[in-house]
Amino acid sequence: MPTLSVCMIVKNEALHLENALNSIKDLADEIIIVDTGSTDRTKAIAKKFTLNIYDYKWDDDFAAARNESLKYANCDWILVLDADETISKIDVQGIKSLISKTPAEISGFVLTQRNYVILQEHLSLGQIGGFNVKESGQSNQSFFTNKDDTYGESKSFAGWMPTPIVRLFRKEHALFSGVVHEDISSSLKGKIIQTPIQIHHYGKTNEDSWKSKWDLYERLAEKKAATEQDYYADFELGRQYLASQKMEKAQQMFLKSITKNNKFWLSWFNLGSIHLLENKLETAITYLNKAQECNPNAVAIYKNLGVVYAKKEQYQKAIDQFVLALNLNAEQADVFKNMALCYQEMGDEQRAYLAIQRAKELNPQIS
């Protein structure tokens, strides 16, 4: 019977760690904790669940710390989890079944990380700066409300934004790369396939703790971009600057990314979205249309194009874009809210009422 190690790297995670470890204690054959310098109760909490706790001197390299944790794993399979993440009881048996029945040619699985949020963006834009999918055309990310969700984990939040991520893989040959936004997939020798398994991520629900990590991520993203000279590393740094609201620097990095790969829709998308935020609407349309050419299935592009046209008071054009977004994902409260605003400006009170009612059905926090 195949066995499973759960590997974590931690630092000052007393707030979340017990919740994370409780979620996988009946799943893991062993739990590996690598602590990179905690000064709170993190290690004391970890000792309730495992004796496999190792100290590691932090050296500004997430991949190196991850690989340190893999070094101590003795099982056939590895699940990587962060301290602010959990696995639902709903998926425990699913993971056990995956590793027990998987043919030898499969070496890893893509899980969906649910990034929970308390409230949606106040501007009702598509997700800006986010996404974590390297291959063009593979992401159809959007905001999902917790309405009719089967996971109890979502009930305390307005909803989540999904990120596909490789976190379950065979130990053999596994090695992370990248000082930040580290990735395991390039080291795996066999096939990597998608699964319905969810990782529940709560880190972005606490704005203060999330912002405290931005400086570190930014510094490491700068180091990564300078070292790798790759379009995606440039994109990641642009995304990090955007998170810190350094708009000019963000634009420079997205443009640099495009010079290396002009088919990468996320760089075009973020450029368009920045110009939307800066109210440079014609330029925003140009960049967002380029993003749409590269990836016609990305919901966020149509959402932001709709916002652009609404700002230009071209309300029917805006509604047309929102309809395209809903054709890809019909359960988007913010899109229905934007449509309601457009219908109201057009004097169509009945459609405005129906749209806002649908928005409230999907997300009661919509006003």
**Rg of the chain in Å (alpha carbons):** 21
Q: What is the DSSP letter of 177?
A: B
Confidence at residue 64, expressed as pLDDT on a 0 to 100 scale: 96
The two beta strands, 191-201 and 85-86, are antiparallel
In the structure encoding, which two tokens stand for residue 350, read together? 């009945």
In the structure encoding, which two tokens stand for residue 307, read together? 């916002």
Confidence at residue 157, expressed as pLDDT on a 0 to 100 scale: 83
Confidence at residue 220, expressed as pLDDT on a 0 to 100 scale: 86
Sign of the C-alpha dihedral computed for residues 325, 144, 271 and 121 taken in this order: positive
Burial class, 196, CB count within 10 angstroms (exposed 0-12 / middle 13-18 / buried 19+): exposed
Confidence at residue 134, expressed as pLDDT on a 0 to 100 scale: 39
Q: What one-character-per-residue DSSP string does 100-144 give? A: HH--TTEEEEEEEEEEEESS--TT-PPP-S-----STT------E
Confidence at residue 162, expressed as pLDDT on a 0 to 100 scale: 83
* Strand spans (E) along the chain: 4-10, 30-35, 53-55, 77-80, 85-86, 106-117, 144-145, 159-170, 191-201
Return the SS3 of 62: helix
Burial class, 320, CB count within 10 angstroms (exposed 0-12 / middle 13-18 / buried 19+): middle
Q: pTM for this one?
A: 0.72
Confidence at residue 144, expressed as pLDDT on a 0 to 100 scale: 72
> Look-up: residue for tokens 């990590």?
213
The neighbouring-strand residues paired with 106 are: 191
Confidence at residue 141, expressed as pLDDT on a 0 to 100 scale: 47
> Look-up: residue for tokens 């790969």?
261
Which residue ranges form the domains of the chain, and what is each CATH number?
A: 4-105+165-195 (3.90.550.10), 213-261 (no CATH), 263-367 (1.25.40.10)
Confidence at residue 208, expressed as pLDDT on a 0 to 100 scale: 65
Backbone phi, psi, residue 304, to 5°: -75, -35
Confidence at residue 288, expressed as pLDDT on a 0 to 100 scale: 97
> Look-up: residue for tokens 């795996």?
188
Residue ranges of the chain with pLDDT lower than 70? 118-143, 205-212, 365, 367
